[in-house]
Structure 1
């Protein structure tokens, strides 16, 4: 056996023999002879933190990523020593620490190895910047697959890939281009039906090698900072994702209108064009809830100002749009124009809020307004100041939501596309350079924006969007996948990116539908809409310099198709809202890759196209031109074809017909899917009846419908309506039980139950064990039943 002493070469240093061990409650400290300390913290029965110090010295323990609401606690903890190793054991896992090398191995209680060090922790001197580069290498298990890592524009399974995290303004990026706009250093490993996760909480540039350089080794490293990572054990992938998401947090519920269809372009101006856009939506009867204003609404691109020629009365315009059901969303960038007559610049200068270079002068860079200075959003005083800047825009002018762009931060006309690395940051009292703060900068900006929007839209709920993000940014904002391109390849990329982001704890996500750069033809635009309406964030956005990209910009057939699918999204809003509630409360991703849905089926491990929308809807976008259908994989179980009603057995690949006006769409048998009526915007119609689409299954299936006032915070005090349904189908009967919770009273009093795939004719109906005449439930043939929303049990008996 090679010892770590023999591996100290070429500037690489490895821990050697453990000489001291101590325990402090949930923490264990293992110190080596050459000054390495492993701090092992038991977070939960299936979650452990590994943190390494060199030269006997830990850096301050501080993280922007970890949620203050993260659950901690465990039911069992044992520590023991053998001749060659130490053991830390919880109710779910065992951690072995080798006495000679500090290498670790994690197994389940049955002794199955989940994850183990190869060379393990090591470090080397960073001769360019000083300090250490920290590294970790793991043994790749047989047939191991890897998922997660945020917005990587590559295959969903990362086996054989090498990626890095450095948030970057990557205009018109291509497939496999890296890095992009997000830095989410979290991945999921899957082997032998065992899933685990690793979150490397380090904001320096980080690198991950998933058996790329050496096929039996997985490694990750950073250009500075600590080796500080969290380990999560499944064995189900769902438990891994939920544990990571709990650690880094989820957002509060958004206003329901934020889940509607949104329209954006660079740029809609002057105000007459914005008003005309709204009128065109209503004239064409295409639902829309929000219109976006890009940088051209500003006075010379100065944030928090209005161009008085293009927008002489912004408050009046916003009020008029709101009367017609539109919310107004405006862009705010981090770059503040260097202008002594500009009040925002003046305030920042007076209070010393701008970032400085290492040797003293202000950090400056060119962005849209010209030369700009950049607030240091890692300073809590700056965040508080920035939040209050939104008062006039929101509380007085009436803007409903804010979109933070260019917050990597993006800097023009420099090779790095961003701030110089010697730029200094407060980092909440832990001063550092831009090397450490770069990946977190955009998240701290949108955090400040979120606090301001939340303060000034109250008692309504805030809605904020960001382009740049680090792990944990999902607590504050929605996001999108950046400046994509109007190509079929980018349609595929958008699908994979959104699935990957949802696996990475960030579910409130979408893409620029239709592509930001260049111009889609009508077919591509229609196919992208068919994907985008099944993403949590649904927005068309384009650069505008290649032509218009509104739903009616193509031929009438395309307009008809686009209207049909946007209407379907509005019908599905109660289902989508319930998805968000599960994400916010239970850390469940809103979009599920097939491998998440059924990790035991090896056919799912390399699928990229199909995904589960929520828990019970299977979607497979068409991603090639001139297609009349496509081959797709249906996961195990039985599925109802949404368009034809045919029940199809899963666990195999099938050809599915899907001409330009269809997308392959299947409903899990037994599902109860709520539908709202089509409305042109959220709140247009006071709901008189809720439709429940019931998909027959011989067996049991659970479904949930969550509702509240669609805005405000009463839901946190019990002001919600939660309906849990249990469907039990038999050969000639169907039983639906309802369990209710919450104090919110919905505006509707009845359900319209639409039965799909019922294999028998209805003979009798019992409601709460009382047989009722069929005419009292308005039985329409055998397909729909109208019934009070307050039923406890509906029993349908066949002839």
Structure 2
């Protein structure tokens, strides 16, 4: 018999030999001699869940991260026992569980090893707090790369890095500083063109070591709770990310205005300044949909109040702004000022809604209003109450959206920057300390906000923003990457962070364009806007301490460049909206790093700058001052330069000319890109014609355009328009087939089709087998035609 002493190494304890096994439908249980139980749940043929219990006891099975809508079910499950191991077979994978050590190994059906334990599961008793520190170590392949983990401000490939997850208010953080505002303990591993993912669903502080301490070992551990992780098999990067995103969920479609350009600052006040800001946007013809009010709109920073000196009639102001196309977004923080005359505070006290310390006193912390109490958002009753607090703000005053900030929770004047670890939480009926609840506090706050606002804005769709997040928060809210700095390095960081967030299941994300802390030069601001308009969430935000940061705050050249790129975003709104539809419906990230786009090309594994916007547009920001161009890697395939229509072959680095007025933008051949006319705000114009930019390819390609009423829930009743286009090109002809779905009738009746790169002159145009007179099509030398939106087959012949 092996004793616990023999199983100890550097204070760690390990499972010993398996003495029991049984199967309960989709769950497999392996019990060791020293009381460790491994529960393996077969969720899909390619998705396994691993839970480990010590002393034969599992904790209650509860998760804030996993979506109720996750797809479950497998096609095949067979368990075979040999003298030395248990072999588990599904339709896609083989799992080996070693009888002597409880270590596991996962391989594909050919026997190729995808992921295997090194030391495997081990633990160390935590005598200070109780429970265990739980650990897992895996063998790292020589060629293996690692990605994911949310908003880390470091290189996209995490090989050789050690990072931690403990949501933290990190004002003006630097490159490689860690941890930051979000805890998303999910990573993707890639080796030998095989991708897999691991989601460590543990809300305690978690840490990940990607071959940092030992070059052949990747490990992850938590300060408490269970070793509870999900394994997702690809073999493609896309399948892994989609699988994880399906389990942690996607948001509903937001209103289209939420995808427009937004302007924010700490702070726009009083009311006259807000009105002047709005008027300037319209005067200069710079599109904008959202204006943000930071904490100075409140009465003494008390949430859910208005400073009547600065904003004497907020309802009228918001109504007037809305008439001119602006939506008003206000900030709400979690800290509630301790003030017996403050109705929100008194309700919280009367109903015992605030967090308490271990010995029963209320948890206090200083934030903007001074000393505050903090609602326990892990309590369902508190979430219901909090959601109800927004009613007056939305139904009476007319606010359009809310921005939850400081919800890590951030606490001032204490070294930890947050709540004491002995703070108690309900945790939806599983009482715990702040050690366990900290990483989900902001998530549950914004969940309460989202669920409340959803009721108050119905039949419109809600729009909510959060700073702090845990895995799955994407179901409730958009987000941004926190208090960055106006430097060129932070422009690079913002680019990497948004790519990383998107591959971590959280696509509705952007950065504070231009930098929050300090003040950018006009050149840096222009370059940041050029990047930011290609991020799913597009907002300028600054501290305001170092000068103004509006589009016109610099010289005329910068203003004109900024206007042009914001106009381009508004033109691409139908493309962006379709991206969001695919994300919401299928879990396809809106921004794709090159390694996601082509994992078989090793050149993509360490690229940080270039990314795919949606499915078909390649973006590469300029991230250095005084640049007249840059070298970039163009992925394999054939691409059109968006600005010149020059055709370039990928799979190589290339110097691209890009003065301050341009950044490298390329379109994949065969693409059909939809465009709207430039609007000053979403809904300003009735769309008379949808523009389709068609990029010729000698071959086959598919494209999609999704549209609906741009707000409301009729799309869930089938009132949407989904157009799938199949493109087939040959040397002297092309065919576009359109397949339509949905009952929504778009306001326009025709398409303007602009052809790029046609190798022939158009001689005949056939629509649904009928030869059309080219005069009726308004055909011109630019190869533009206008045809009915209802065509099924467009057949063009040339010479």
Q: Name the TM-score, length of structure 2 as normaliser.
A: 0.99
Alignment of 1:15-414 (within 5 A): 15-414=15-414
Q: What CA distance in whole angstroms lies between the structure 2 residues aligned with 1:719 and 1:374?
A: 42
- How far did residue 20 of structure 1 move? 0.5
Counterpart contact for 1:761–1:782, Cα < 8 Å: no
- How far did residue 6 of structure 1 move? 3.9
Q: What CA distance in whole angstroms lies between the structure 2 residues aligned with 1:215 and 1:128?
A: 31
- How far did residue 8 of structure 1 move? 1.6
Residue 582 of structure 1 aligns with which residue?
Answer: 582
- How far did residue 529 of structure 1 move? 0.2
Residue 629 of structure 2 aligns with which residue?
Answer: 629
Q: Does 1:729 align with 2:729?
A: yes
Task: Give unmatched runs, 5+ long, in structure 2.
Answer: none
- How far did residue 95 of structure 1 move? 0.5
- How far did residue 87 of structure 1 move? 1.0
Q: Deviations over 1:722-764 (max 9, x none)?
A: 0000000100001111000000000000000000111110111
- How far did residue 9 of structure 1 move? 3.4
Residue 765 of structure 2 aligns with which residue?
Answer: 765
Counterpart contact for 1:209–1:220, Cα < 8 Å: yes
Q: What CA distance in whole angstroms lies between the structure 1 residues aligned with 2:440 and 2:731?
A: 57
Q: Deviations over 1:163-212 (max 9, x none)?
A: 00000000000000000000000000000000000000000000000000
Secondary structure, aligned partner of 1:655: strand
Q: Deviations over 1:360-380 (max 9, x none)?
A: 100000000000000000000
Secondary structure, aligned partner of 1:599: coil
Q: Deviations over 1:130-182 (max 9, x none)?
A: 21000000000121000000000000000000000000000000000000000
Counterpart contact for 1:16–1:34, Cα < 8 Å: yes
- How far did residue 60 of structure 1 move? 0.2
- How far did residue 490 of structure 1 move? 0.0
Q: What CA distance in whole angstroms lies between the structure 1 residues aligned with 2:335 and 2:632?
A: 46
Q: Does 1:8 align with 2:8?
A: yes
Residue 720 of structure 1 aligns with which residue?
Answer: 720
Counterpart contact for 1:5–1:14, Cα < 8 Å: no
- How far did residue 707 of structure 1 move? 0.1
Secondary structure, aligned partner of 1:667: strand
Q: Deviations over 1:207-242 (max 9, x none)?
A: 000000000000000000000000000000000000
- How far did residue 337 of structure 1 move? 0.1
- How far did residue 676 of structure 1 move? 0.2
Residue 439 of structure 1 aligns with which residue?
Answer: 439
Secondary structure, aligned partner of 1:55: coil
Secondary structure, aligned partner of 2:776: helix
Q: Deviations over 1:590-625 (max 9, x none)?
A: 000000000000000000000000000000000000
Counterpart contact for 2:762–2:783, Cα < 8 Å: no
Residue 598 of structure 1 aligns with which residue?
Answer: 598
Counterpart contact for 1:634–1:650, Cα < 8 Å: yes
Residue 566 of structure 2 aligns with which residue?
Answer: 566
Q: What CA distance in whole angstroms lies between the structure 2 residues aligned with 1:9 and 1:177?
A: 31
Task: Give unmatched runs, 5+ long, in structure 1.
Answer: none
- How far did residue 780 of structure 1 move? 1.7
Q: What CA distance in whole angstroms lies between the structure 1 residues aligned with 2:39 and 2:131?
A: 20
Counterpart contact for 1:3–1:100, Cα < 8 Å: no
Q: What CA distance in whole angstroms lies between the structure 2 residues aligned with 1:142 and 1:413?
A: 46
Secondary structure, aligned partner of 1:774: coil
Q: What CA distance in whole angstroms lies between the structure 2 residues aligned with 1:165 and 1:348?
A: 30
Q: What CA distance in whole angstroms lies between the structure 2 residues aligned with 1:9 and 1:223?
A: 18
Counterpart contact for 1:762–1:782, Cα < 8 Å: no
Counterpart contact for 1:704–1:722, Cα < 8 Å: yes
Q: Does 1:701 align with 2:701?
A: yes
Q: What CA distance in whole angstroms lies between the structure 2 residues aligned with 1:542 and 1:574?
A: 29
Q: Give runs of ≥4 in structure 1 deviating > 2 Å.
A: 2-7
Counterpart contact for 1:5–1:16, Cα < 8 Å: no
- How far did residue 782 of structure 1 move? 4.2
Q: What CA distance in whole angstroms lies between the structure 1 residues aligned with 2:467 and 2:694?
A: 39
- How far did residue 4 of structure 1 move? 9.1
Residue 480 of structure 1 aligns with which residue?
Answer: 480
Counterpart contact for 1:738–1:792, Cα < 8 Å: yes
Secondary structure, aligned partner of 1:624: coil
Corresponding pairs, count: 798
- How far did residue 769 of structure 1 move? 1.1
Secondary structure, aligned partner of 1:691: strand
- How far did residue 7 of structure 1 move? 3.7
Q: What CA distance in whole angstroms lies between the structure 2 residues aligned with 1:676 and 1:5?
A: 70
Counterpart contact for 2:250–2:587, Cα < 8 Å: yes
Q: What CA distance in whole angstroms lies between the structure 2 residues aligned with 1:4 and 1:602?
A: 45
Secondary structure, aligned partner of 1:626: coil
Counterpart contact for 1:572–1:676, Cα < 8 Å: yes
Residue 515 of structure 1 aligns with which residue?
Answer: 515
Q: What CA distance in whole angstroms lies between the structure 1 residues aligned with 2:74 and 2:716?
A: 27
- How far did residue 3 of structure 1 move? 11
Q: Does 1:416 align with 2:392?
A: no
Q: What CA distance in whole angstroms lies between the structure 2 residues aligned with 1:276 and 1:59?
A: 57
Q: What CA distance in whole angstroms lies between the structure 1 residues aligned with 2:360 and 2:779?
A: 78
Counterpart contact for 2:187–2:504, Cα < 8 Å: yes
Residue 471 of structure 2 aligns with which residue?
Answer: 471
Q: What CA distance in whole angstroms lies between the structure 2 residues aligned with 1:533 and 1:9?
A: 52
Secondary structure, aligned partner of 2:526: helix
Q: Deviations over 1:705-725 (max 9, x none)?
A: 000000000000101000000
Counterpart contact for 2:164–2:178, Cα < 8 Å: yes
